[in-house]
Chains A and B, each alone.
Chain A
């Protein structure tokens, strides 16, 4: 980046700078990294599905019907896909895998927190909209994880809503499996 210019910043950072104009004043005065994480999550959710890495590369092997199934999701934002009941379960699983990879990379705390949120958002999406558990985590463990994520100061409204729904489902399922 040149001095006094944002030209040269990576595009995501530029998106986060733009995001400053969309955040409310209430973000201020919060914990140190809160608004950084909130900005990053917002930028990630606003991003369209990273088709190159999570979907397209796998198409030659899968072919056929799945390709047709995936095409309508191209260009939709990540936030839209994980919160849409009609989203394809295959896409949701790929988002989960991608987020898991993102979380395991050594990056900032904010990056990791956002990746974890997206990872659980994909799991919550599969649970809530497809009644499918796409992870080996138990319902109890998921319940605890969703509870931790809910009402995080940096959490977006749409994910928060999704986590609340998923938490309730886990509570039900957990009770069922015990009885």
Chain B
């Protein structure tokens, strides 16, 4: 079983910006160009969790790539997922994983692994280095790896959106303060910089202002996260639950 390997799947950038049930249903269009745009969008957004899941299932780099592409072309691009999406309710994350498992089973049944020749040719998938995944993630079950990578891509997109928004709106210091106080302690395991230190470091006149700046960015973060998660669930009420479920799975993975 190959554990490592680089691939260049996924195009320029991955993200989860707009994929949801309605977009999948859009894929039924007879407008080939539009259909292609939709499918490309899906591939860009979802290839990473799928590819990592397959790797964790024990597929080598090439078979995992092959299956990932096969899944998108035969299932997503085909009619199957559109039909299933019509009937499905619930989390898109779960739906996609179930569809993938059905696909893997069908591939094994048909014994055609390694013989997929997508109608549209091989899609370009962004370079991905599995080595970059933490040791902790490497010990996870395949389903948890899927969720871990899913959450990681979601988080990267949210952070990029918030940062870009802050820079665009002239709130660079807001972003820096948020990063120093909230993000870095989690990401690089440092003690949070005190509010007083932040005042000195960024020349901010009062502690209250620092707190307000953090709240401002946090609200942007919450809004961006809610907006993206909302695209994968059926209702506004489920957004919080989906985030909690992701946390639960990730915390479980860490504990075990």
Contact = CB atoms under 8 A, between A and B. Distances in A.
A17 B252 contact: no
A4 B15 CA distance: 13
A29 B207 contact: yes
Contacts, number: 143
B195 A32 contact: yes
Interface residues of A, number: 45
B203 to A, nearest CB: 19
A62 interface: no
Interface residues of B, number: 52
A15 B225 contact: no
B134 A9 contact: yes
A18 B134 contact: no
A89 interface: no
Contact of A36 (B140, B192, B214): B192
A174 interface: no
Interface stretch (A38-46, A136-144, A159-167): A38-46
Interface string A1-24: 110111111111111111111110
A7 B191 contact: no
Interface stretch (B38-46, B90-98, B106-114, B150-158): B150-158
A15 B246 contact: yes
List of 4 A-B pairs having minimum Cβ-Cβ separation, nearest first: A47-B251, A50-B255, A12-B254, A29-B211
Interface of A: 1-2, 4-23, 25, 28-29, 32-33, 35-36, 39, 42-44, 46-53, 75, 77, 108-109
